Amino acid sequence: MCLRLCLFLLFPIAISSVTTTDTDLPAFREAPAFRNGRECFKTVWSPEDRTHNPSIIHIAMTLDAIYLRGSVAGVFSVLQHASCPENVVFHFIATQRRSADLRRIISSTLPYLTFQIYHFDPNLVRSKISSSIRRALDQPLNYARIYLADLLSASVRRVIYFDSDLVVVDDVAKLWGIELGRHVVGAPEYCHANFTHYFTSRFWSSQGYKSALKGRKPCYFNTGVMVIDLGRWREGRYTVKLETWMRIQKRHRIYELGSLPPFLLVFAGDVEPVEHRWNQHGLGGDNLEGLCRNLHPGPVSLLHWSGKGKPWLRLDSRRPCPLDSLWAPYDLLRYSPLISDS
């Protein structure tokens, strides 16, 4: 598998133009097939399954035209490093508008992938979204992670949620296997956060609002990488709890950062800690300028370009940050040579 992958990555992609499909979506090269090792218990998943299968790893991601290149790279990275890639099932959340085109692209680029596409209705959240500091944070699909328990089959009891601007460089089974205990969500967390930066003065001037955080550790976590117990989520009606804060935000403007603050208000201080190696986030810089950043100290299992700067855009503009070179090997975008090979 390594030899096949190395040959695959040796093909030059420089001095070229992007190939697009007839729908103006990017076109991709077909990824190599990744097969299970002998230690893997081969299993097959179907959307009609009614029972939980512990041998299958479920991963959810959103899928849209703007972040499609990042999503494909993310999936490719997971499969490349997985010990049992045929046991990984992807659940893609997309709007109805281009789901047929997206399905065709995923099927042709990753023909051996087991996946399902779920239609997300933007009207479900449009009336609950208020503008934030960056337009990308205001898109309805950015809130789709709140509705995974409603969209996915009841037989899916646990899921990993990944953003579309990351690559995995370790076996995802290690992340899947963490024990959540009594917790609903597991994620790398940072427990010396200053929450005054996440909420407005109106929030802090209201005794009712700020009491929601009383007695809880000020632990920030990035919602782009989460392990979620969907069974506990459904039982605790956590979608309703998050929507409640979204409605309050719409009326009273208590925060500025899109879908993150509701998660902090509901889960902060009550998250199962995951090793920081599983979300080396912030590689896209801040939400305003997207400046280059370095890795956090310590080992790395997942690289996450959260923030304004995205590696594919910086690479295309020929103004990449040093760490963008770590994303490039997973880029399956098909290029057309500007000069004929002949």
The 3-class SS string of the chain reads: CHHHHHHHHHCCCCCEEECECCCCCECECCCCCCCCCCCCCCCCCCCCCCCCCCCCEEEEEECCCCCHHHHHHHHHHHHHHCCCHHHEEEEEEECHHHHHHHHHHHHHHCCCCEEEEEECCCHHHHCCCCCCCCHHHHCHHHHHHHHHHHHCCCCCCEEEEECCCEEECCCHHHHHCCCCCCCCEEECEECCCCHHHCECHHHHHCHHHHHHHCCCCCCEECCCEEEEEHHHHHHHCHHHHHHHHHHHHHHHCCECCCCHHHHHHHHCCCCEECCHHHCECCCCCCCCCCCCCCCCCCCCCEEECCCCCCHHHHHHCCCCCHHHHHCHHHCCECEEECCCCC
Q: Residue 160 corresponds to which tokens in the numbers above?
A: 């990993």
pLDDT of the residue at 233: 98
Residues in CB range of 199: below 8 A, 6 or more apart? 209, 254, 255, 261
At 7, give phi and psi (nearest 5°). -65, -40
Summary mean pLDDT of the chain? 88
* In the chain, where the domains are located: 57-330
Query: With bands split at pLDDT 50, 70 and 90, how would you rate the model's confidence at 340?
Result: very low
Q: Is the pLDDT of residue 8 over 50?
A: no
Look at residues 315, 274, 68, 270 and name the one whose alpha carbon lies nearest to residue 170. 274
∠ CA(275), CA(280), CA(286), 5° rounding?
A: 135
Average pLDDT over residues 72-93: 97
pLDDT of the residue at 130: 72
pTM above 0.85, yes or no: yes
Neighbours of 47 (CB within 10 A): 12
Q: Residue 24 corresponds to which tokens in the numbers above?
A: 């103006």
Tens-place pLDDT, residues 226-284: 999 999 999 999 999 999 999 999 898 898 877 899 999 999 999 999 999 999 999 99
Amino acid 82 reads A
pLDDT of the residue at 335: 77
Residues in CB range of 29: below 8 A, 6 or more apart? 109, 332, 333, 334
Q: Is the pLDDT of residue 341 over 50?
A: no
- Beta 272-273 vs 88-94: how paired, if at all? unpaired
Least confident of 130-144, 145-159, 196-210, 241-255: 130-144
Q: Which residue has the tokens 């990042």?
A: 70
Cβ atoms of 218 and 192 within 8 Å: the answer is yes
From CA 228, how far away is CA 284, in angstroms rounded?
A: 25
Tens-place pLDDT, residues 127-144: 887 776 556 567 889 999
Average pLDDT over residues 48-72: 89
From CA 241, how far away is CA 222, in angstroms rounded?
A: 18
Residues in CB range of 205: below 8 A, 6 or more apart? none
Least confident of 178-182, 258-262, 315-319: 258-262
Residues in CB range of 257: below 8 A, 6 or more apart? 132, 133, 137, 198, 287
Look at residues 300, 303, 283, 294 and name the one whose alpha carbon lies nearest to residue 73. 303
- Beta 185-187 vs 114-119: how paired, if at all? unpaired
Q: Residue 315 corresponds to which tokens in the numbers above?
A: 């690479």
Q: Is the pLDDT of residue 221 over 50?
A: yes
For the domain covering 57-330, report its CATH number.
3.90.550.10
